[in-house]
Structure 1
Amino acid sequence: MTDPNSLPQPETPAEVQTSPVRCVSGAIVSGGLGYALYSVMIAIATNFASKPIHSDNQLVLRLTSAVRTLVVGLFALGSGIFGLVAVGLLALALQLLLQKLKKSPQS
């Protein structure tokens, strides 16, 4: 039998320092993804609006409306989350810059 304590422990990776450059580059990537999702959401919503539902069945109308709302809502949620992450990363970069300026000796 093997002793559970004798298993090799995974090495913990070295902690990466947070820097304003890393924050700004992450904000650019997140903002780009947010803008891309927003553009796709607008295209999907426009496409749905230009193609009305051709049915007299009330169940079909309700299901189609629910699915369309769900699809557009998911893309809106994704673009909103990525946008908020970009704003948060920019605020973190600003905070790190201000902390570096306060710590540096005044000439």
Structure 2
Amino acid sequence: MSDQNLTPQTDTKIQVTASPLRCLTGAVISGGMGYAMYSLMIAIATNFATKPLHSINPLVIRISSAVRTLVVGVVALGSGIFGIVALGLLALGVQLLVQELSKQKSSEN
């Protein structure tokens, strides 16, 4: 009648440590996605610029201008975030590499 879980659930959390290779891989992926978003933003902005609005209604012009600005702005925000994440991961990878090298030098002495 009552659904009891007969097998005990084990919640084992494996903590993955950061390594310079993981950081570099993440930075490359994030940088690639940032570049793709940047290219998409340029394509959208160019598309909007080549197709002007055909209306004499000022309200339609204002709303469509606001929507176009918001679309380009959201894609630019995504591109910027991916770029900042890529730079942060790259800096973290360099920091971890320097820490590993300094540990090796101190263990040799």
| TM-score (ref. length: structure 2) | 0.87
Instruction: Describe the superposition over 1:62-104 as per-residue Cα deviations: whole angstroms up to 9, x where unpaired.
Output: 0000000000001000000000000000000000000001111
For 2:9 and 2:70, the matched residues in 1 are separated by 44
* Alignment correspondent of 2:65: 65
| Structure 2 gap segments, 5+ residues each | 3-7
For 1:85 and 1:64, the matched residues in 2 are separated by 32
Instruction: Describe the superposition over 1:18-69 as per-residue Cα deviations: whole angstroms up to 9, x where unpaired.
Output: 1000000000000000000000000000000001111110110000000000
Map 1:4-83 → 2, pairs under 5 A: 11-83=11-83
For 2:9 and 2:38, the matched residues in 1 are separated by 43
**1:25 aligned partner, one-letter code:** T
Identity %: 65
Q: 4+ residue stretches of structure 1 with deviation over 2 A?
A: none
The total of aligned residue pairs comes to: 105
For 2:93 and 2:35, the matched residues in 1 are separated by 20
Q: Deviation at 1:12?
A: 3.5
Q: Deviation at 1:106?
A: 4.0
| Structure 1 gap segments, 5+ residues each | 3-7
Question: Which is further off, 9-18 or 26-35?
Answer: 9-18
For 1:12 and 1:58, the matched residues in 2 are separated by 61
| TM-score (ref. length: structure 1) | 0.89
Q: Deviation at 1:17?
A: 1.1
For 1:27 and 1:15, the matched residues in 2 are separated by 20
For 1:62 and 1:87, the matched residues in 2 are separated by 37
Cα RMSD for the two superposed structures: 1.9
For 2:10 and 2:58, the matched residues in 1 are separated by 58
